[in-house]
A and B are shown apart, each in its own frame.
Chain A
Amino acid sequence: MLLALLIGWLVLSHGHHGGGDFWFLGGRTPHEMRAEVAKVVPDKEMQNTTDYNLSVIEKDYENLDSQRSKLEKEVLAALERHDTPTEEFQAIQSRADEVNADATRKMLDVRFVMREQLSDAQWRALFPPPDAP
């Protein structure tokens, strides 16, 4: 929970899901998403385009994950020390906010590129609304 508090929405976990999935893709892994795309998008060229966009998401997420690991190590080391100055925590939070803003912008960019390339029906099939609680 510390990292989600620190960095933000992209590193949230989803209560019942394990690792390796993307909660904002409905808790599916990119591999599972590609299988869905193959079912929903009949056009091969469009499938490739969507697969490429999924690869961009995956790559951006890998990059975020490496920054997440670095921030996790730093914040835990700072919390462990008894003499960490407040400024050090503030600096970590500022860096985490930059990481969050950058990753959010990139993720929304890809999301809207993908959206333009798919029909309404294809989009609805790939991203169904969550089950009502």
Chain B
Amino acid sequence: MNTLRSLLIAILLCAACASHHLPPKELLQANLEAMQEAVTAKVPDTQRAARLNKSINDLGQQLLSFRAVRDRFQSDVLALNARPDVTRGELEARIAQFDKQRVAIRTRVFELHSELIAATTPEEWKGLFPYERAVLTEE
């Protein structure tokens, strides 16, 4: 029995380690799927579960959009910075453009968080929050 338990723990640990070694996009997808599976397990009301899954899908879309915005921005800033003649105004304008896109996505992410809260009880949220945290913080 003890051996079986140890084996199970080892398998779970390996699975957790493996998920942290996924490429960023796959890791995000895995975390979103884990959150949706947690919804199925923790929220018995199917209507609320459907609302939650829709919000989780939208959250994934927003984070993917942000990733694309970020990649373009970083490449543009490195290219601008490489130019000895770039003006402060040019760099500030590109940063301002990024900030505008970032804040729009941030606003939507917080709205989606509010939707998740509205569709859960405090007890259900306690079980779901670790998954939201992983979605939002793991690269």
What is the interface of chain A, defined by CB distance below 8 A to chain B? 1-6, 8-9, 12-15, 23-24, 26, 76, 79-80, 82-84, 86, 89, 93, 97, 100, 104, 108, 111-112, 115, 120, 123-124, 127-130, 133
What is the interface of chain B, defined by CB distance below 8 A to chain A? 24, 63, 66-67, 70-71, 73-75, 77-79, 81-84, 88, 91-92, 95, 98-99, 102-103, 105-106, 109-110, 113-114, 117, 120-122, 125-126, 129, 132-133, 136-137, 139
Contact B79 A4 (CB under 8 A): no
When chains A and B are docked, how far (Å) is the Cα of A89 from the Cα of B17? Answer: 32
CB-contact partner of B84 in A82, A97, A123, under 8 A: A123
Enumerate 29 A-B pairs (CB-CB under 8 Å) in ascending A order.
A1-B139, A2-B137, A4-B66, A4-B70, A4-B102, A8-B95, A8-B99, A9-B77, A12-B70, A12-B74, A23-B78, A24-B78, A79-B129, A80-B129, A82-B120, A82-B122, A84-B117, A89-B113, A93-B106, A93-B110, A108-B88, A108-B92, A111-B91, A120-B84, A123-B84, A124-B84, A127-B81, A128-B82, A130-B79
When chains A and B are docked, how far (Å) is the Cα of A86 from the Cα of B114? Answer: 8
Q: Which of A3, A4, A86 has most B Cβ within 10 Å?
A: A4
Residues of chain B within 8 A of A83, CB atoms compared: 122
Known A-B contacts A14-B74, A15-B24, A111-B81; the reply to A5 vs B105 at CB < 8 A is yes
CB-contact partner of A115 in B63, B84, B113, under 8 A: B84
Please give the distance in Å from B69's CB to the nearest CB on chain A.
10
When chains A and B are docked, how far (Å) is the Cα of A26 from the Cα of B63? Answer: 24
Residues of chain B within 8 A of A8, CB atoms compared: 95, 98-99, 102
Residues of chain A within 8 A of B75, CB atoms compared: 130, 133
